[in-house]
Structure 1
Amino acid sequence: MEQLDLFADLGEPEAPKAGKAITLPKPTAGQWANTAAKPQPQQPALIPEAPRRPRPEFAISPADGAAFGEKVSTAWHQAHGGNRMEIPLGIVATLALWPQKGYPRTLAEFLRGLDAQQLVACVREVAAYWWMRRPDLIDTASVLFRWAEQDTYAANELQAIRATFHAALDANALDHTGHEDPELNADIDLMSWAVTSLRHHTARQGLGEYHTPPEVCDMMAAQIIGRDPEAIHDGYSILDPCAGTGGMFRSAAQHVRGLGKDPARLTWFAQEIDPYSAAGCAVNMIVWGMGPNAMVACGDTLAEGDMWNRAVEHRRMLVKARDDAAAAMAIARAVRQVERLVSQGSEAA
């Protein structure tokens, strides 16, 4: 399935309707309690995962998610990058969102040849590129990119930035996200592994942050969605009130693809309280090709409830800001062209 043109007109997504929406559940601690002494009811047979087409091999096999997150975290901390986890997360997001697809080895060598300041410029360029195409998602993910707007950096930060870029490249980040086909970019949630590896375990405990293992997400998506392709049709909504970085969406999208359907034609709406995880989810919505009706809201689901209307208004505001900026740039370009023509005419005279 090809990536949709995300710069196309972003119309208003249809609000989820009863009977057309799936709300993805979350496993509770009680599910995993010790129940060995209690007789268990017979469980229904698990619905097998829909078949996927083979993944083409790149020059180097991609690392698994846990190894990727560990390498990124180790590189950042060994280079004494400090406690600003938005910087290494922004580096992972930059590589995941890099618009040039299909040449991971060439691109990796190019990036390895850049100094730290040039790599920071790459972060700014990638954020600007995608802001023009999905301003709502990039605004939600802006916590991962704002640091690149600084004028100066400490020497240890520059060293850590370059070391982290190299570690992510050495862990073959581009092999996970460097495909033209978004289906092949959704095998692993790199943002989830980066968040959980960079955040201290006591901080995760304090936040109650426990990302659902991908194997469990795959099983739950297969059970909830089922095997009937006719049950999932254009305009269907899939919602996650505690989305993390979107791991359940990844599994659901891959299952939908296995049924021969395009997830970019569905509506995906994620709510997440942690800004870093919400930012990672917004990045993933682009990387995984979730389409123009994918939205992410950052807020407390328990306190605020359904944030759909807020997310739609946020999207409307950012699209207008994008369009106004594009119009201003077009006018500025036209003025420069006129000035150049006048200058050339004056010289000829």
Structure 2
Amino acid sequence: MQQLDLFAQLDDDPQPPKPEKVITLPKPTAGQWASVRPRPQQPASTAPRPEQRRGPEFASRPTDGPTFGEKVSYAWHHTHGGNRMEIPLGIVATLALWPQKEYPRTFANFFRTLDAESLLQCVREVAAYWWIRRPDLIDIAFPLFKWAEEEHTAHELHAIRATFHAALDANALDHTGHIDPEWNSNVDLMSWTITNLRHNTARQGLGEYHTPPEICDLMAAQTIGRDPGEIPDDCSLLDPCAGTGGMFRSAAQHVRSMGLDPAKYTWFAQEIDPLAAAGCAVNIIVWGLGAKAMVACGDTLAEGDLWPRAIKHRRAMVEQRDNAEARMAIAYALGRTRQLLGMVSEAA
């Protein structure tokens, strides 16, 4: 499977779902675990996977989801990072969204050499990189990145660097550093991180009940079915209480197991918790769900269908992105003109 096109133009909005072509994923949860699915056997005639080509570059047994979340949470709390969950979540999101793929160990070693200020710059650059390509999703995910613009004490910088190292030691890049998004979809790192950072009492107060991964896989398979011919190209998959998108992960992997491309379909997630919605927006990029995937943050029970608001938000963010690019192009042209005029003056 080739890398999905995450650079597609966003000018054409996804069409509203038609009742007879909508798959509503059947669970009223506000977050879910992700599974480590058995990887499908590849036909002998196909090209080898990145892991097979570069075995040493990938962990033979990467840290599983629960262990990953525990290590990140422990590092953050052990260094007394505080109660700002968006910071360790943003660290995991930065590593998951790192654009260069296929060399996780090389990049992990690179990140380990950086000081805290340089790591903050990495957070800002990842957010900017994906804002150009998916401004609607990065705006939803912005709570995970905006802290990098703030001033931090030496103690906070120490906690940030320690958490980066913990995520790297727990194989974050091994889970998300593949060219093929199918291999980046085995574990929902954002969900496991939230699960371990947020206290049980807090989750109960939010009504956040995490569905076991095997149950997500089972419900996705039963809801979608196993006949590729029954899924039309303009099908929409909706999750009204998406959490970080774990049911989408299961559904996308099930669709791939039938030889179909998840990017062909419309994916729409609604989630009331801003941090979970931010994690879902990150996952949509990491899992390669394509240009027709959207997230809306809001109360499904109180507001109902948030599709129109998501479309409006998408258009506004694309317009804002395009305007920013136009201003940058003008600024660059003016700067280049001044530079050339200065060279001419010096020559004269």
Deviation at 1:181, TM superposition (A): 0.3
Please name the residue that 2:109 is paired with.
Answer: 109
What are the within-5 Å matches in structure 2 for residues 118-267 of structure 1? 118-150=118-150, 152-267=151-266
Please name the residue that 1:8 is paired with.
Answer: 8
Please name the residue that 2:292 is paired with.
Answer: 293
Please name the residue that 2:45 is paired with.
Answer: none
Is the CA contact 2:3–2:181 (under 8 Å) kept in the aligned structure 1?
yes
Deviation at 1:348, TM superposition (A): 0.5
Residue 18 (str. 1) matches residue 32 (str. 2): no
Is the CA contact 2:271–2:299 (under 8 Å) kept in the aligned structure 1?
yes
Residue 93 (str. 1) matches residue 108 (str. 2): no
Deviation digits for residues 1-55 of structure 1, max 9, x if unmatched? 2233323211110110011110111168xxxxxxxxxxxxxxxxxxxx9983457
What are the within-5 Å matches in structure 2 for residues 302-341 of structure 1? 302-341=301-340
More deviation, 6-15/98-107: 6-15
Secondary structure, aligned partner of 2:133: coil
Secondary structure, aligned partner of 1:238: strand
Instruction: Tell me how far apart the structure 2 counterparts of residues 292 and 180 of structure 1 sit (CA, whole Å).
Output: 17
Which residue identity does 1:20 align to in structure 2? K
User: Structure 1: which 5+ runs fail to align?
Assistant: 29-48
Secondary structure, aligned partner of 2:270: strand
More deviation, 224-233/254-263: 224-233
Please name the residue that 1:43 is paired with.
Answer: none
Instruction: Tell me how far apart the structure 1 counterparts of residues 116 and 339 of structure 2 sit (CA, whole Å).
Output: 36
Is the CA contact 1:50–1:227 (under 8 Å) kept in the aligned structure 2?
no
Q: Which has the higher contact order (CA 8 A, sep 6+)?
A: 2
Is the CA contact 2:91–2:164 (under 8 Å) kept in the aligned structure 1?
yes
User: Structure 2: which 5+ runs fail to align?
Assistant: 30-36, 43-48
Residue 274 (str. 1) matches residue 262 (str. 2): no
Which residue identity does 1:174 align to in structure 2? L
Secondary structure, aligned partner of 1:185: coil
Instruction: Tell me how far apart the structure 1 counterparts of residues 310 and 156 of structure 2 sit (CA, whole Å).
Output: 34
Instruction: Determine which structure has more spread, i.e. the larger CA radius of gyration.
Output: 1
Instruction: Tell me how far apart the structure 1 counterparts of residues 27 and 165 of structure 2 sit (CA, whole Å).
Output: 35
Aligned identity (percent) is: 70
Please name the residue that 2:347 is paired with.
Answer: 348
Instruction: Tell me how far apart the structure 2 counterparts of residues 218 and 246 of structure 1 sit (CA, whole Å).
Output: 13
Deviation digits for residues 113-136 of structure 1, max 9, x if unmatched? 000111011000000000000000
Please name the residue that 2:78 is paired with.
Answer: 78
Deviation at 1:59, TM superposition (A): 3.4
Is the CA contact 2:6–2:288 (under 8 Å) kept in the aligned structure 1?
no
Secondary structure, aligned partner of 1:183: coil
Secondary structure, aligned partner of 1:99: coil
Which residue identity does 2:290 align to in structure 1? G
Instruction: Tell me how far apart the structure 2 counterparts of residues 213 and 229 of structure 1 sit (CA, whole Å).
Output: 26
Deviation digits for residues 85-109 of structure 1, max 9, x if unmatched? 1000000000000000000010000
Deviation at 1:213, TM superposition (A): 1.4
Instruction: Tell me how far apart the structure 1 counterparts of residues 94 and 312 of structure 2 sit (CA, whole Å).
Output: 26
Please name the residue that 1:34 is paired with.
Answer: none
Is the CA contact 1:3–1:182 (under 8 Å) kept in the aligned structure 2?
yes
> CA 1:51–1:161 in structure 2 vs 1: closer, same or farther (change >3 Å)?
closer
Is the CA contact 2:28–2:240 (under 8 Å) kept in the aligned structure 1?
no
Instruction: Tell me how far apart the structure 1 counterparts of residues 8 and 332 of structure 2 sit (CA, whole Å).
Output: 22
Secondary structure, aligned partner of 1:182: coil
Q: TM-score normalised to the size of structure 1?
A: 0.91
Please name the residue that 2:33 is paired with.
Answer: none
What are the within-5 Å matches in structure 2 for residues 46-85 of structure 1? 52-53=40-41, 56=51, 58-60=57-59, 61-85=61-85
Is the CA contact 2:62–2:171 (under 8 Å) kept in the aligned structure 1?
yes
Deviation at 1:287, TM superposition (A): 0.1
Deviation digits for residues 194-236 of structure 1, max 9, x if unmatched? 0010011110111111121111111111111111011123221
Instruction: Tell me how far apart the structure 2 counterparts of residues 184 and 173 of structure 1 sit (CA, whole Å).
Output: 13
Instruction: Tell me how far apart the structure 2 counterparts of residues 236 and 51 of structure 1 sit (CA, whole Å).
Output: 26
